[in-house]
Amino acid sequence: MPVHEDAWPPHPHRTRRQPGHDAAQHAFPAIRFTPGSSGSIPNLFNETQWRVLAAHFGLSSRQRDVARLICAGCTYKAIALLSGISVNTVRMHIRDLFDKVHAHDRVSVVVRLVTTERALARRDAAAHSADR
């Protein structure tokens, strides 16, 4: 049976992606991809806290970004789309993150980051109060 040009798309629920179409924006329409906008990715820590945690654990900037997305509850595929990397590269970064943070799954990464940040904040507060 010949396929007519007007028969595209072949399935009513599948549409062709337009050139220049942002896959992440299509996959996650509720998330606005501008810093500080409402609907942006939730953040457990501010930028300074992320830098301190990254320095403490020796994380690269990409590993820090992946950790931030893990803390936001993103899946491997979502992290890949939001970061512009492949799912296998996300797996590699997460594996390295597990090694550096001494965790065995994504939940324990979040727990480890939160407890470490609190411990570092207490240490800094105690050092600051001792200086007075």
The pLDDT tens digits of the residues spanning 5-52 come to: 554 444 445 444 444 445 555 555 444 444 444 455 667 888 999 999
CATH number at residue 83: 1.10.10.10
- Give me the pLDDT at residue 16, please: 47
Pick the more confident residue, 3 or 128.
Answer: 128
Confidence (pLDDT) at 8: 47
User: Using CA atoms, how far apart are residues 103 and 70, in angstroms rounded to an integer?
Assistant: 13
Q: Is residue 10 situated within a structural domain?
A: no
* Tokens, residue 132: 């007075």
Nearest residue to 71 via CA among 36, 25, 34, 106: 106
**Does residue 25 fall inside a structural domain?**
no
Residue 37's pLDDT is 42
Tens-digit pLDDT profile for residues 47-105: 999 999 999 999 999 999 999 999 999 999 999 999 999 999 999 999 999 999 999 99
In a domain, 101, yes or no: yes
Cα dihedral sign for 86, 46, 132, 122?
A: negative
Identify whether 17 is part of a domain: no
**Count of domains forming the chain:** 1
Which domain, by its residues, includes 90?
A: 42-131
Inside any domain, residue 117: yes
Residue 61 lies in a domain: yes
